[in-house]
Structures are given as structure tokens and as C-alpha cells.
Amino acid sequence: MNRFLTRRRFLIGSTLGASALTLSGCDLFDQNDKVAGVIRSAETLTMKAQRLLQGRDALAREFSEADISPSFRVNGTSSPDSEEYAELLEGRFAKWRLTIDGLVERPLQISLDDLKKLPARTQVTRHDCVEGWSAIGKWTGVPLGTLLKTVGLRPNARFAVFHCADELEKTLDGSGRYYESIDLVDAFHPQTILAYQMNGKDLTVGHGAPLRLRVERHLGYKHAKYVMRIEIVDSFDSLWGGNGGFWEDRGYEWYAGI
Ligand SMILES: Nc1nc2c(c(=O)[nH]1)N[C@H]1C(S)=C(S)[C@@H](COP(=O)(O)O)O[C@H]1N2
Ligand SMILES: [Mo]
């Protein structure tokens, strides 16, 4: 297996608590704050350089229907195993609501049916996983920007955090819950959608039913599946490991631009 997978197994394999995990993943960084600082600023540089070179609104490549991969892997969680999710699935997500709250003027709870009534976008794009596989799929959903305009952002809003239904890692304190985040440039990017369809059909459980994020200029782990709540925040400090995502708390870069 390639080195990413090995590293991922190492990162997730421990049965210790969240702080210990963060430590094991980031030992090297924690030992030397200077090194951590340099790595962080290198990441910021990557982000700034990429946006400067490609433009804030540069589109990820879109493909034709003929390019759609005959099979698209399911990765990470393949089925959230909570009681709550099982009930929602059983009721075909009729009782599911997407919550949008945090630093917004008008917090929102919206059903899947109502989401489907909003203007939709369809895009055929390539998904690149850090583990070294790619697949092309067709995604249909609501541009995140549309919803953010509806709720109205407060002046101090900086990031959108996606809280998911699944625990990728079982922990006592819930810190194994999957979550992700993006900044407002990516949140308002035209290809950033909350997808409810893949290849013309409702999302399967494996691919994130009922709703998953597509943020096409980023690596696979940013594309949160099983999105239950979008929280608008000004910092990640109070969220789990404080790095803005499940994998980020285990050592991955927050800015996963490709
Ligand atoms: N909620 C949740 N979202 C997730 C994951 C996960 O385990 N849980 N895995 C991520 C990773 S690493 C990848 S590559 C993609 C995989 O999406 P797919 O299962 O539709 O291929 O989902 C991402 N989003
Ligand atoms: Mo991934």
C-alpha cells in the first residue's frame, strides 16, 4: 500500500483519546514550535499562491457524461452506525433537516424536499483521494452560496464547518465524529455544492446520503458526507482538536487544494 494509507492507518489505529492521537500524529510538529510555524506558513503560502495563480473563482475541470467512472469507490465511513441515522434512513430522510446556524442572521432548518426545490447545479468532476485513487462522478445539488445568502452571514463569519452523522473513529468523548471546514472563498465558489444526487440518482448511503459536500478544488477528505449541520464560525479553536477537520486533527493539511 502507498505511504498515505500507511500513515492514515497509523493515525487512526490508536485507541487512545483525541489529545493523545493528535500528539502521535503531530509529534514532530509539537516538539518544535518553530517547525510547526514554518509548516503552517507554508500551507498559507500554498493557498495564497494557488489562488493568485488560478484566481479565486477558477473552476475545477469538468468532464462529459461519457467520462463517468463505471465504479466509484466508497471510502471512509460506508454507513453511519448511530440509532439516529438508522431512523432517518428508515423514514427515507423525510424527518431529516439540515441545520445552518452559528454566525448567521437567520438560522435555518431545511428538509431534503425543500432543498431539492432550490435551483440546482450539476457537475461532472474528478474526485482525488489522498490515498492515491481517483474517480469521475456526476453530482447534483444546491450551491452552498445560495444557502449562505439566504441565512445571511454576520460580519465576523469566516468559515463554514460541516458536522457529519458518522463517527469514523469510536471514542468515548465523541471526538471521532467526522467534520470538515472551508473558508468563505471556497464556500461561495460556484462549484461548491451540497449534493443530494450522484450520477442522476439519490445519493446512496455509501456516498453520503442524504447530503454531502462537493468542494471540487480540494482533495477527497474535504468532501464531507452525511452533512447534518453547517455551523458558521470565526475560528476552529473550540471544535475538537482545533484544526478544522477530522483528518486535520490527525495531521492532514487544512488547505487541501489541488
Ligand atoms: N462524513 C464523512 N465524510 C467523508 C469521509 C468519511 O469517512 N466520513 N471520508 C472522506 C474521504 S477520505 C473521501 S476520499 C471521500 C470519499 O467519498 P466516497 O465514499 O463517496 O467515495 O469522502 C470524504 N468524506
Ligand atoms: Mo480520501
- pLDDT tens by residue, 118-141: 999 999 999 999 999 999 999 999
155 C-alpha to ligand 2 centroid (Å): 33
Q: Which of 8, 213, 221, 228, when mutated, tests ligand 1's pocket best, judged by the most ligand atoms within 8 Å of its CB?
A: 221
Q: How would DSSP label each residue in the chain?
A: --HHHHHHHHHHH--S-HHHHHHHHHHHHHH-HHHHHHHHHHHHHHHHHHHHHH-TTPPPP---GGG--S-----S-SS---HHHHHHHHTTTTT-EEEEEESBSS-EEEEHHHHHHS--EEEEEEEE-TTS-EEEEEEEEEEHHHHHHHH-B-TT--EEEEEEEEESS--SSSTTEEEEEEEHHHHTSTTEEEEEEETTEEPPTTTTTT-EEEETTB-GGGS-SSEEEEEEES-STTSTTSSSSTTGGGT--S--B-
pLDDT of residue 29: 44
Residue 3 maps to a domain: no
Domain that holds residue 82: 61-244
219 C-alpha to ligand 2 centroid (Å): 7
Residue 89 maps to a domain: yes
Question: Is the pLDDT confidence value at 15 over 60?
Answer: no
Residue 206 maps to a domain: yes
pLDDT of residue 14: 45
Structural domain count of the chain:
1
155 C-alpha to ligand 1 centroid (Å): 31
CATH of the domain at 73: 3.90.420.10
